[in-house]
Homo-oligomer: A and B are copies of this chain.
Amino acid sequence: MTLHCATGNAGKLREFHALAANRNVNFEMLPEFSRLPPCEETGATFEQNAVLKAGYYSLHASGLLFADDSGLEVEALGGGPGVRSARFAGPRASDEANNRLLLERLRGVSDRRARFVCVIALARAGKVVRTFHGAVEGFILDEPRGANGFGYDPLFFYAPFGCSFGEASPECKLAVSHRGQALRAMLDFLGPGL
Protein backbone atom coordinates (compact mmCIF):
# COMPACT_ATOMS: atom_id res chain seq x y z
CA MET A 1 0.00 0.00 0.00
CA THR A 2 1.25 3.49 -0.82
CA LEU A 3 0.38 6.48 1.35
CA HIS A 4 1.28 10.03 0.49
CA CYS A 5 2.78 12.23 3.16
CA ALA A 6 3.41 15.94 3.33
CA THR A 7 6.36 17.29 5.26
CA GLY A 8 9.29 19.54 4.59
CA ASN A 9 11.17 18.12 7.55
CA ALA A 10 13.96 15.74 6.57
CA GLY A 11 14.08 14.17 10.04
CA LYS A 12 10.39 13.28 9.97
CA LEU A 13 10.70 11.90 6.46
CA ARG A 14 13.59 9.69 7.56
CA GLU A 15 11.45 8.29 10.36
CA PHE A 16 8.48 7.67 8.04
CA HIS A 17 10.76 5.70 5.73
CA ALA A 18 12.41 3.78 8.59
CA LEU A 19 9.03 2.65 9.89
CA ALA A 20 7.83 1.73 6.39
CA ALA A 21 10.93 -0.44 5.89
CA ASN A 22 9.52 -2.98 8.37
CA ARG A 23 5.94 -2.81 7.16
CA ASN A 24 3.96 -3.67 4.11
CA VAL A 25 3.52 0.00 3.28
CA ASN A 26 5.24 2.64 1.23
CA PHE A 27 5.27 6.32 2.25
CA GLU A 28 5.76 8.70 -0.67
CA MET A 29 6.15 12.44 -0.54
CA LEU A 30 3.32 14.22 -2.29
CA PRO A 31 4.97 15.04 -5.65
CA GLU A 32 3.55 18.59 -5.69
CA PHE A 33 4.66 19.30 -2.10
CA SER A 34 7.57 21.60 -2.82
CA ARG A 35 5.72 23.49 -5.56
CA LEU A 36 2.65 24.28 -3.47
CA PRO A 37 2.40 27.40 -1.31
CA PRO A 38 3.12 26.09 2.21
CA CYS A 39 0.15 25.44 4.47
CA GLU A 40 -0.11 28.08 7.21
CA GLU A 41 0.13 26.36 10.59
CA THR A 42 -2.21 28.66 12.46
CA GLY A 43 -3.70 26.07 14.81
CA ALA A 44 -3.47 26.39 18.58
CA THR A 45 -2.90 22.65 19.02
CA PHE A 46 -0.98 19.86 17.30
CA GLU A 47 -4.31 18.31 16.35
CA GLN A 48 -5.53 21.49 14.64
CA ASN A 49 -2.28 21.92 12.71
CA ALA A 50 -2.15 18.29 11.62
CA VAL A 51 -5.75 18.59 10.41
CA LEU A 52 -5.03 21.85 8.57
CA LYS A 53 -2.02 20.36 6.80
CA ALA A 54 -3.59 17.01 5.91
CA GLY A 55 -6.76 18.72 4.67
CA TYR A 56 -4.85 21.18 2.50
CA TYR A 57 -2.27 18.84 0.98
CA SER A 58 -4.73 15.99 0.40
CA LEU A 59 -6.58 18.25 -2.05
CA HIS A 60 -3.52 17.82 -4.24
CA ALA A 61 -3.02 14.08 -3.67
CA SER A 62 -4.56 11.04 -5.24
CA GLY A 63 -5.88 8.83 -2.47
CA LEU A 64 -4.91 9.03 1.18
CA LEU A 65 -2.40 11.53 2.54
CA PHE A 66 -1.16 12.09 6.06
CA ALA A 67 0.51 15.00 7.78
CA ASP A 68 2.25 15.11 11.15
CA ASP A 69 2.31 17.95 13.63
CA SER A 70 4.50 17.45 16.62
CA GLY A 71 6.62 19.16 19.21
CA LEU A 72 7.91 19.39 22.73
CA GLU A 73 5.83 20.30 25.78
CA VAL A 74 7.97 21.38 28.70
CA GLU A 75 6.29 21.32 32.12
CA ALA A 76 8.15 24.35 33.48
CA LEU A 77 7.26 26.35 30.37
CA GLY A 78 3.54 25.70 30.78
CA GLY A 79 3.56 23.24 27.90
CA GLY A 80 5.75 25.39 25.64
CA PRO A 81 7.21 25.56 23.10
CA GLY A 82 4.41 23.20 21.98
CA VAL A 83 3.13 24.04 18.49
CA ARG A 84 5.88 26.66 18.27
CA SER A 85 8.63 24.04 18.77
CA ALA A 86 10.07 24.34 15.24
CA ARG A 87 10.04 28.15 15.28
CA PHE A 88 10.83 28.65 18.99
CA ALA A 89 13.91 30.78 18.26
CA GLY A 90 12.29 32.46 15.27
CA PRO A 91 10.96 31.65 11.79
CA ARG A 92 13.12 29.00 10.06
CA ALA A 93 15.22 28.67 13.24
CA SER A 94 17.83 25.91 13.21
CA ASP A 95 17.62 22.96 15.59
CA GLU A 96 20.73 24.33 17.31
CA ALA A 97 19.16 27.75 17.88
CA ASN A 98 15.97 26.19 19.26
CA ASN A 99 17.96 23.91 21.55
CA ARG A 100 20.05 26.81 22.80
CA LEU A 101 17.00 28.90 23.56
CA LEU A 102 15.38 26.01 25.42
CA LEU A 103 18.47 25.59 27.61
CA GLU A 104 18.47 29.34 28.32
CA ARG A 105 14.82 29.31 29.37
CA LEU A 106 15.47 26.34 31.66
CA ARG A 107 18.65 27.67 33.24
CA GLY A 108 18.38 27.10 36.99
CA VAL A 109 15.03 25.36 36.63
CA SER A 110 14.96 22.08 38.53
CA ASP A 111 11.69 20.70 37.10
CA ARG A 112 12.96 19.26 33.80
CA ARG A 113 9.88 17.18 32.88
CA ALA A 114 8.87 17.29 29.24
CA ARG A 115 7.00 15.26 26.67
CA PHE A 116 7.15 14.89 22.93
CA VAL A 117 3.70 14.88 21.34
CA CYS A 118 2.75 13.90 17.81
CA VAL A 119 -0.58 14.06 16.03
CA ILE A 120 -0.96 12.55 12.58
CA ALA A 121 -4.01 13.42 10.49
CA LEU A 122 -5.05 11.15 7.65
CA ALA A 123 -7.12 12.78 4.90
CA ARG A 124 -8.57 12.22 1.47
CA ALA A 125 -9.59 14.98 -0.92
CA GLY A 126 -9.61 17.66 1.76
CA LYS A 127 -11.58 15.63 4.33
CA VAL A 128 -9.90 14.31 7.46
CA VAL A 129 -10.53 10.60 7.92
CA ARG A 130 -9.03 10.31 11.40
CA THR A 131 -6.27 11.59 13.68
CA PHE A 132 -3.73 9.50 15.63
CA HIS A 133 -1.86 10.52 18.76
CA GLY A 134 1.44 9.62 20.37
CA ALA A 135 3.30 10.99 23.40
CA VAL A 136 6.47 10.10 25.25
CA GLU A 137 7.68 11.40 28.62
CA GLY A 138 11.23 12.49 29.38
CA PHE A 139 13.48 15.11 30.95
CA ILE A 140 15.41 18.04 29.49
CA LEU A 141 19.16 17.64 29.92
CA ASP A 142 21.57 20.46 30.81
CA GLU A 143 23.40 20.05 27.53
CA PRO A 144 22.87 18.21 24.23
CA ARG A 145 23.92 14.56 24.06
CA GLY A 146 24.24 12.48 20.89
CA ALA A 147 24.14 13.13 17.17
CA ASN A 148 21.16 10.98 16.18
CA GLY A 149 17.64 12.17 15.61
CA PHE A 150 16.73 15.81 15.02
CA GLY A 151 15.00 18.76 16.67
CA TYR A 152 15.16 18.57 20.46
CA ASP A 153 16.27 14.90 20.51
CA PRO A 154 19.77 15.59 21.93
CA LEU A 155 18.21 17.38 24.93
CA PHE A 156 15.48 14.80 25.55
CA PHE A 157 16.55 12.22 28.16
CA TYR A 158 14.43 9.08 28.00
CA ALA A 159 14.72 7.28 31.33
CA PRO A 160 14.00 3.70 30.16
CA PHE A 161 16.91 3.99 27.69
CA GLY A 162 19.17 5.76 30.19
CA CYS A 163 20.19 8.13 27.39
CA SER A 164 18.90 10.94 25.20
CA PHE A 165 16.95 10.44 21.97
CA GLY A 166 20.04 11.88 20.28
CA GLU A 167 22.07 8.96 21.63
CA ALA A 168 19.51 6.23 21.02
CA SER A 169 19.60 4.31 17.76
CA PRO A 170 17.03 5.52 15.22
CA GLU A 171 15.31 2.14 15.41
CA CYS A 172 14.94 2.18 19.21
CA LYS A 173 13.83 5.81 19.27
CA LEU A 174 11.09 5.01 16.75
CA ALA A 175 10.04 2.00 18.81
CA VAL A 176 9.00 4.23 21.72
CA SER A 177 8.64 7.73 20.29
CA HIS A 178 5.58 9.93 19.94
CA ARG A 179 5.88 9.72 16.13
CA GLY A 180 6.39 5.94 16.14
CA GLN A 181 3.27 5.51 18.27
CA ALA A 182 1.14 7.72 16.04
CA LEU A 183 2.43 6.08 12.84
CA ARG A 184 1.75 2.59 14.17
CA ALA A 185 -1.73 3.64 15.30
CA MET A 186 -2.42 4.87 11.76
CA LEU A 187 -1.19 1.63 10.22
CA ASP A 188 -3.25 -0.44 12.67
CA PHE A 189 -6.30 1.61 11.67
CA LEU A 190 -5.63 1.10 7.97
CA GLY A 191 -5.72 -2.62 8.38
CA PRO A 192 -3.99 -5.81 9.41
CA GLY A 193 -0.81 -6.70 7.61
CA LEU A 194 0.49 -3.15 7.42
Contact = CB atoms under 8 A, between A and B. Distances in A.
A162 B175 CA distance: 8
A161 interface: yes
5 contacts: A160-B160, A161-B175, A162-B184, A169-B172, A172-B172
B184 A175 contact: no
A161 to B, nearest CB: 5
Nearest to A168: B175
A136 interface: yes
A49 B100 CA distance: 48
Contact of A175 (B136, B160, B181): B160
A20 B136 CA distance: 28
A32 B169 CA distance: 36
Interface string A181-192: 100100000000
Copies per complex? 2
A1 to B, nearest CB: 19
A18 B169 CA distance: 14
Contacts of A160: 136, 160, 175-176, 181
Given A160-B160, A169-B172, A172-B175, 11 more contacts: A160-B175, A160-B176, A160-B181, A161-B176, A162-B184, A168-B175, A169-B171, A169-B175, A171-B171, A172-B172, A176-B176
Please name the 6 residue pairs, one residue from A and one from B, whose CB atoms are nearest each other, closest first.
Answer: A172-B172, A160-B176, A172-B175, A161-B175, A162-B184, A169-B171
Nearest to A160: B176
Contacts of A176: 160-161, 176
Contacts of A175: 160-161, 168-169, 172
Contacts of A169: 171-172, 175
A160 B172 CA distance: 11
Contacts of A136: 160
